[in-house]
Amino acid sequence: MNPKITRFLAEQTPATPCLVVDVDQVEARYRALGKALPLARIYYAVKANPAMPILTRLVGLGSCFDAASWEEVSLCLEAGAHPEDISFGNTVKKVSAIQAAYRAGVRMFVFDCREELEKIAQHAPGSRVYCRLLVDNYDAEWPLSRKFGTTVESARDLMLEARALGLDPYGLSFHVGSQQLSAEAYEAAIARVASLFTDLSDAGLDLRMINLGGGFPIRYREDVPEIDHFAGAICRAMTEHFGNALPEMLVEPGRFIVGEAGVVHTEVVLVSARGRQDGPRWVYLDIGRFGGLAETEGESIRYAIRTARDGSPTGPVALAGPTCDGADILYEKSHYDLPLDLRSGEQIDLLGTGAYVSTYCSTRFNGFAPLSEYYI
Ligand SMILES: *Cc1c(COP(=O)(O)O)cnc(C)c1O
């Protein structure tokens, strides 16, 4: 548990549920990634946590930004980012969003199909474009694979088409899936991108950039490989495939930058045996699937939990949120144990909740207020 957040909670006793994020820890993670991958430019994936104190801190550190919507582009601008440091990194963009971003000076856009490419050519003429490839999301705990990216063959045609449409065919991207535990996923994706670089070069088109996406994992209940492990694998693969002619490298971390810096402070609303002596106790919290913990879907992301009674005897529990919706269950199969004397009214902390929580809140489902947030 982060000592700065512990102190804040003890001194301020904020109402629950709330998210507390240590912005200094965000900075430390940004610096650690920069140190591990000095040749890569960091485009923070805004969707992981778009809070202004995070964006302004990152602007101050010289970060670039990966924005998924016009609203995220304008948040970055409001935080002081230069438009040329913003990549519009969603393959699915409204025409009005492309137009607004272009008017604001954004000149880098992603696509993964012909129609999107044509939209960009028409509404953001002359911009740098990169094509997203479909890659394996195997070993990712929060995969993104099937929804985005195209095949190597179609990417080849589309990059040539981009040039014909008067755009600047800048490079290629992929995303190996979020909370990716295997460095091999990056190596395999780099090999795929490199073969297309060569292919296109033979066709007279020299690309200049490879966008390695995000996916770098953080610690939840278990240790994960250090960032240096991923950086080493990436550097080896880049050197193997590109030799001395390294293209520009971009990374788009989200979870890695903000995840471990956040704690959700929550109250136990009810502990219930549900009439059974043999089953787990059910522990209902004042935050659930609809209050921001959307990544518990499928029990994919399993947060570590701290209680004031840690160290006392524990027993198995199922964890659920406070709403009247049957889908509002956090963990039933993931073998959570909590203290046997845990009672309603007590407060517990969910660690590693800085990413993909604050903006995954529904607005007032069942009347519950959206999560309050503190950036310290
Ligand atoms: C969500 C997303 C990211 C961030 O992924 P993390 O796994 O949080 O690092 C980066 N790039 C794109 C295109 C994304 O959609």
Mutational test site, ligand 1, from 72, 252, 257, 300, max ligand atoms within 8 Å of CB:
252
pLDDT value of residue 146 = 79
Could you list the active site residues?
324
The lowest-confidence range among 275-284, 289-298, 318-327 is 275-284
Instruction: Indicate the range of 24-38, 150-164, 354-368 predicted with least confidence.
Output: 354-368
Average pLDDT of the residues in 367-371:
91
Ligand 1 centroid–CA 209 distance in Å is 17
Region 293-310 average pLDDT: 96
Give yes or no for residue 145 having a pLDDT over 80: no
CA of 256 to the centre of ligand 1 (A): 10
- CB of 125 within 8 A of CB of 141? no
The average pLDDT across 30-34 equals 98
- For the record, the structure tokens of 247 come out as 């293209």
* The pLDDT of residue 294 is above 80: yes
| C-alpha of residue 224 to centroid of ligand 1, in Å | 18
Q: Which of 41, 64, 66, 86 best tests ligand 1's pocket when mutated (most atoms within 8 Å of CB)?
A: 66
**Looking at residues 329-344, what average pLDDT do you find?**
97
Contacts of 153 (CB under 8 A, 6+ apart): none
- Residue 273: predicted pLDDT: 87
What per-residue confidence (pLDDT) applies to 279?
A: 85
pLDDT at 362: 83
Could you tell me the pTM of the whole model? 0.97
Taking the mean position of all CA atoms in its chain, how far away is CA 101? 22
What are residue 259's phi and psi, to 5 degrees?
-60, -55
What mean pLDDT do residues 180-186 have? 96
**Greatest Cα-to-Cα distance within the chain, rounded to the nearest angstrom:** 72
48 within ligand 1 shell (Cβ under 6 A): yes
pLDDT average, residue stretch 216-224: 97
Q: Is the CB of 91 under 6 A from ligand 1?
A: no
Q: In order of start, what are the domains of the chain with their CATH numbers?
A: 50-253 (3.20.20.10), 260-375 (2.40.37.10)
Average pLDDT over residues 239-265: 97
Residue 156: predicted pLDDT: 98
pLDDT tens for residues 311-328?
999 999 999 999 999 999
Residue entry with tokens 């960032």:
227
pLDDT for position 200: 97
Give nearest CA residue, ligand 1 atom 15. 90
Q: Is 268 helix (H, G, I), strand (E, B) or coil?
A: strand
The pick from 178, 180, 212 for probing ligand 1's pocket by mutation, whose C-beta has the most ligand atoms within 8 angstroms, reads 178
For the segment 187-214, what is each residue's pLDDT rounded down to a tens digit?
A: 999 999 999 999 999 999 999 999 999 9
Tens digit of pLDDT for each residue in 96-130?
A: 999 999 999 999 999 999 999 999 999 999 999 99
Amino acid code (one letter) for 270: L
| pLDDT the model gives residue 276 | 80
pLDDT at position 74: 98
43 lines ligand 1 (CB under 6 A): no
Ligand 1 in contact with 27 (CB < 6 A)?
no
Q: What is the mean pLDDT of the chain?
A: 96
- Give Cα separations from 264 to 57, 136, 150, 292, 364 (angstroms): 21, 32, 37, 10, 18
pLDDT at 137 over 90: no
